Amino acid sequence: MEWIRPGLAALSAIQSVSAFAATAPVPPPTPADRALAAYFAAETAVIERGCLAEVGAEVGTAAEWEAVQSGRRSQLREMLGLLPWPERGDLRVTVTGQLEHDEFRVEKLHFQSLPGLYVTGNLYVPKAVSGKLPGVLYLCGHSRVVADGVSCGNKTGYQHHGAWFAQNGYVCLIIDTVQLGEIEGLHHGTYREGLWWWNSRGYTPAGVEAWNGMRALDLLASRPEVDPERLGVTGRSGGGAYSWFVAALDDRVKVAAPVAGITDLENHVVDGTVEGHCDCMFFVNTYRWDYPLLAALVAPRPLLLCNSDKDTIFPLDGVLRVHDKVRRVYSILGAAGRLGLLITEGPHEDTQDLQVPVLRWFNRWLKAEKSVVRTAAEKYFEPRDLRVFDVLPADAINTTVHERFVPVAKPMPQGLDPALQKEWRAAQADLVRSQCFGGWPLEAGPLDLKAVRTAERDGTRLRLWDFISQPGVDLRLYALSPLEAAPSNRVRLRIVGPEAWQASLAGLTGGYPAELAEERAALGAQVTPADAAAWAVLAQAVAGGAETRLWFAPRGIGLTAWSGDAAKARQIRRRFMLLGQTLDGMRVWDIRRAMAAAIELFPGAPLTLEAEGGMAVNAVYASLFASGLERLEVRGLPAGHREGPDYLNVLRIWDLPDAIEAARDRCAVVVE
């Protein structure tokens, strides 16, 4: 399998810059690269096979689907940070101005979806109103519109949709997004800003966008011109994604037409389109969903899935796979005629070929009309004229909503006796296992330990073993023991990160350069020279002691280190995230397996686990879910999960100090 492909949109942009970019040689993938690509493909396939697998098997009637749908909606709410629902307070709708057109008016308004979370929007209302009209919520994609250095909001970039709906007899509300509104917030936490704690908090800006959309429906339904029983939602690109979330969660949406806003995990993870998307496109995948399941939650309401055939960030093959799975759901509900698929020619652009069928879809299902669409969507106003604020509000939380949108865990109740405290920690650990590490293999499987090589020097014996952490992830364990080691000798297993691995390898190769040549070659130019002095100290300590020392580097370190720069490493971590995992969460699994290997190789020997820094956090969590550990020694721990390794949702359950205390309930723990 070829190495992970970059996001296709990003690749196209790079190639258009210069001829060199199109012809520059690409370094061949390393064995570690190929193994990682195969791992991502295999994990994606597992999730894909399970997606909607119950449809046509256990689920074959509308009643059975409704039962499944209810539970899945709760999961989606949780993965968007909306379980429980935020408080649905007063919207505090404020109209700051109005624009006139011959056929409609535009109200410039803002509301607060939460106290201080301002949503700026434009409401397009036809001037010829006869009775209550259908309402459409239009959700915007990633269009940054700036005039004189001031953000006008992406609603101004999509104004032609609002005007067009109004010209055709709809009340249309267009709202800004958090990232590209008049108050510019953040969508790029893991994509660009290194805010991996978003994973630990269980936060995604997709949740904020979904909530803002649902509160926008509250506003739209309250308008005297609008029939609250005839509401629809649409949008393109990012707005297409938010249309899926809103329609999936809110039954007030009677018709949906998301445009270029969804594809499947195969495209995102295997083909690399994740690299063309910021965090707002994705839920925190706690329950390991593929995206057809999100789409199916709209059933049996009328749904038009729209895309173009040359869209590089929502590729056609993935769109068709999504449609095929959703079609089966509509079929068992007897609603096949309510599902539409629109594929037009062209790239990822807002074209008339996409716009006209969307309007016809709404006409058909919200107005029972099949009239010919004779007008075209046009922009009538300067962006600055559609701005809502002259001065931004001082109490806005838009730029920091990621700090508060998802509540952190409640602390352990005060006043519990020691036994109840231990019981509380055990219950929280169970939650951590299910909510943070749901991407672990369901079964451990055999280790399949294989001896690689053995050598002796200076009163020590070096032994190397390979074992299987999970299918497709082969790792190596290094052991240095006295030549006369007794069965009762303590075993010390050290977990090493990249820097500690280089230092450890320098010392070991001071004594065993030939035996560890493969490891040194894997580091290439980054290899630290062999350290004879460090070896002399190590050999003396081991040869004359009663302890066997083991070293272990989890996946992505040592022999399994992947090639590429920091940008590639970031996108690798995001792929793990889309699979309902995190890189460090899977390293915890690797450490558990290394502990099992050590116990199998040295049965009956007391086992100590040691690590430092971020890898020490991984060791703490491995100790919670593995047996046979006598002692845990950790150094240089971060203060908490905001600074340390990220595990999905962990800060919703507890923070690192609680995990350390839970480890103390299981073994001796030394923290330095």
pLDDT digits (tens, 9 = 90+) for 250-295: 999 999 999 999 999 999 999 999 999 999 999 999 999 999 999 9
Strand ranges for 458-506 from DSSP E: 460-470, 473-482, 490-495
Q: Kindly tell me the burial class for residue 51, based on how many C-beta atoms sit within 10 Å of its own C-beta (0-12, 13-18, 19 or more).
A: buried
pLDDT class for 4, splitting at 50, 70, 90? low
Confidence of residue 546 (pLDDT cuts 50, 70, 90): confident
Beta-carbon count within 10 A of 42 CB? 15
Q: Say what the pLDDT of residue 626 is.
A: 96
Mean pLDDT of 529-534: 94
Average pLDDT of the chain?
94
| DSSP symbols for 186-206 | -S-TTTTS--THHHHHT--HH
Residue 33, pLDDT score: 97
- Residue 8's pLDDT band (boundaries 50, 70, 90)? very low
**Model pLDDT for residues 587-629, shown as the tens digit of each residue:** 999 999 999 999 999 999 999 999 999 999 999 999 999 999 9
Structure confidence at residue 359 as a pLDDT band (50, 70, 90): very high
Residue 479's Cα: distance from chain center in Å? 37
Predicted confidence (pLDDT) per residue in 109-132, tens digit: 999 999 999 999 999 999 988 899
CA 74, chain centre distance (Å): 18
Cα–Cα dist 627/518, whole Å: 32
What is the rounded distance in angstroms from the CA atom of residue 170 to the CA atom of residue 439? 45
Its pTM stands at 0.95
Q: Mind listing the domains of the chain with CATH numbers?
A: 8-50 (no CATH), 62-403 (3.40.50.1820), 450-671 (3.40.50.1820)
Q: Which pairs count as long-range contacts for 160-163, CB under 8 Å and 24+ apart, including other chains?
A: 160/377, 160/378, 160/379, 160/380, 161/234, 161/355, 161/377, 162/106, 162/122, 162/124, 162/138, 163/101, 163/104, 163/106, 163/124, 163/377, 163/378, 163/379, 163/380
Is residue 663 packed enough to be buried (19+ CB in 10 Å), middle (13-18) or exposed (0-12)?
buried
Q: CA 369 to CA 49: how far, in whole Å?
A: 40
What does the chain come to in residues? 672
In this predicted model, what pLDDT tens digit does every residue of 466-490 receive, in sequence order?
999 999 999 999 999 999 877 778 9
3-state secondary structure of 450: strand
- Is the predicted pLDDT of residue 631 greater than 60, yes or no? yes
pLDDT at 418 over 70: yes
User: Would you state the pLDDT for residue 394?
Assistant: 98
172 CB-near residues (< 8 Å, 6+ apart): 123, 124, 135, 136, 137, 138, 161, 162, 165, 166
> Does 581 score more than 70 pLDDT?
yes
Amino acid at 584: D
pLDDT at 17 (0 to 100) = 30
**How many other C-beta atoms lie within 10 A of the C-beta of residue 376?**
11
The pLDDT tens digits of the residues spanning 88-101 come to 999 999 999 999 99
